[in-house]
């Protein structure tokens, strides 16, 4: 089960991205021990849920502190990737769509 902090992220991201994330695929943020967030960009409307036990087209492994900086706009995804603070497995094209999703979550 996801931690309270991850549950808060799930709720906020669900509200922020609304019915259409623009992903066209599934994306999972894996925070390790605290839990994960699963964005289903294939369903209509899109959904954001706990990602435990779910596989996605693209999985982004990132620490909660790094993710928090990305949400606040203090660190962009490309920089986090280049610094080794973020790992991508699967469809890199979906990972490239991360910027607009984080902007929606930031608003």
- The CATH number that applies at residue 54 is 3.30.1050.10
pLDDT tens-digit map of 48-65: 999 999 999 999 999 999
Output the CA–CA distances (angstroms, integers) from residue 79 to 70, 74, 84, in the order listed.
10, 10, 9
Structural contact between residues 32 and 2, judged by C-beta atoms closer than 8 angstroms:
no
pLDDT tens-digit map of 20-47: 888 999 999 999 999 999 999 999 999 9
> What residues form DSSP beta bridges with 40?
26, 47
- Structural domain harbouring 23: 4-106
- Predicted model pTM: 0.91
Which two tokens mark 56? 């996605």
Q: What is the count of structural domains for the chain?
A: 1
């Amino acid at each position: 089960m996801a931690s309270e902090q991850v549950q808060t992220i799930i709720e906020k991201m669900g509200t922020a991205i609304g019915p259409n994330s623009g992903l066209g695929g599934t994306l999972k943020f894996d925070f390790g021990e605290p839990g994960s967030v699963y964005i289903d960009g294939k369903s209509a409307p899109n959904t954001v849920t706990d990602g435990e036990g779910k596989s996605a087209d693209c999985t982004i492994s990132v620490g909660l502190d790094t993710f928090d900086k990305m949400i606040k706009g203090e660190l962009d995804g490309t920089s986090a990737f280049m610094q080794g603070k973020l790992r991508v497995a699967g469809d890199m094209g979906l990972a490239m769509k991360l910027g607009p999703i984080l902007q929606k979550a930031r608003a």
